[in-house]
Structure 1
């Protein structure tokens, strides 16, 4: 099933709570960006600011951090369903994937625009999902990099049944292009959350791919 997942990127705990309240009852999945100011320049609200969010959403936690393995226990503590870390952030993705397996998370890796799909070949069979970054990570409201869509078919050749998402630069100008390339879901941040009516913006994007 093709899906739009709203994405929240904020360092303000109050804004995080307000955004989640707005989305309650309007989306099954919620994508939360966690940033450490090291792997990417920005920082975000911490995991525990999510409170009881897992009662209302399937939480997809996007770790834009160094040493993502150090965050897994906290991800489990807040009830995350799917955890994403960056291939570029670790020396041995297999080690982190094994730890994720122990917690029972759906396992997903994100790849930045310059990273070739073939870099994933040695461990893609261990993945439940793969997130193609449509922008360089760490900031919302960036311009989409269309060349990244060529990775989608390359990833399918490596593993036919892997779930493929795209994150960054998704809006009403780019969403059809992304799904036309074969992604299964798209994370939409500012195109939803930075509008005057996030719920209406989310529904509009969903209608565009239905």
Structure 2
């Protein structure tokens, strides 16, 4: 089943509550919260106050920590109500330990890799995560074009998971739109993060229904 995570980085922050409610009514399964520190990625976004505010809406939160030293903040984001907490393979010193700690906090554990990071770097962590987030653009800004080689990694990682007998979800973030999503789904992703394309769509509900219907064509 395809699930949709609406990236609030693309929302109108002067009307964030209204935009979140619009995503709920449109059928989004998660709110995707990109927490950026300006160090690991060349941008700063938002932190705990915004995550706390959107958590109060009751929608499940998919918190993506695009930051250095994520271990410092995992407990707090779990306390704020995150359903999924995702850390980057590139910034986590002891990945297996961190992922298992996220699970101990009652959250789904996610690990993300940037476009230039081989999926094989996760081979010794298979079984320690519930979600593998493949960045299909270089992280830091919305509205970028997909890095073609990143899409190919979806099928590689899906094959790795199947051979290991691990039932983790593959999530993709970066320019997920109506003209790009089918290839992403065909390669094995089932959790799609979409921001600019969704929030700018004339009919967000129709947009989400179209994405969810792509599984039939996979």
Q: Number of paired residues?
A: 210
Specify the SS of the correspondent of 2:87: strand
User: In the alignment, is residue 86 of structure 1 matched against residue 88 of structure 2?
Assistant: yes
Q: Is the 8 A contact 2:171 2:193 kept in 1?
A: yes
Q: 1:205 to 1:77 in 2, by over 3 A?
A: same
Would you say the 8 A contact 2:32–2:64 is kept in 1?
yes
Whole-Å separation in 1 of the counterparts to 2:50 and 2:113: 26
- 2:29 is aligned to 28
Aligned residue number for residue 46 of structure 1: 47
What TM-score, normalized to structure 1? 0.89
The equivalent residue for 1:135 is: 137
Q: Which residue number in structure 2 is paired with residue 19 of structure 1?
A: 19
Quote how far apart the aligned CAs of 1:61 are.
Answer: 0.4
Q: Which whole-Å deviations, capped at 9, do the CAs of 1:157-210 have from their partners, x for residues lacking one?
A: 322222101100111110111101111121111111234554443344334555
Alignment of 1:165 onto 2:171: yes
Distance in 2 separating the partners of 1:207 and 1:172: 11
Using the alignment, how far apart are the partners of 1:126 and 1:135 within structure 2?
25
Do 2:178 and 2:207's aligned partners in 1 also have CA atoms closer than 8 Å?
no
Aligned to 1:180: 186
The 1:98–1:209 alpha-carbon spacing in structure 2 relative to 1, beyond 3 Å, is closer
> Is contact 1:13–1:45 with CA below 8 Å preserved after alignment?
no
Give TM-score scaled by structure 2 length: 0.86
**2: CA distance, partners of 1:135 / 1:15:** 27
Distance 1:194 1:37, change over 3 A: farther
For structure 1, the residue ranges without an aligned partner over 5 or more in a row are none
The 5 Å alignment of 1:40-119 reads 40-50=41-51, 51=53, 53=55, 55-119=57-121
What RMSD in Å do the two structures reach over aligned CA positions?
Answer: 2.1
8 A Cα contact 2:114 2:138, kept in partner: yes
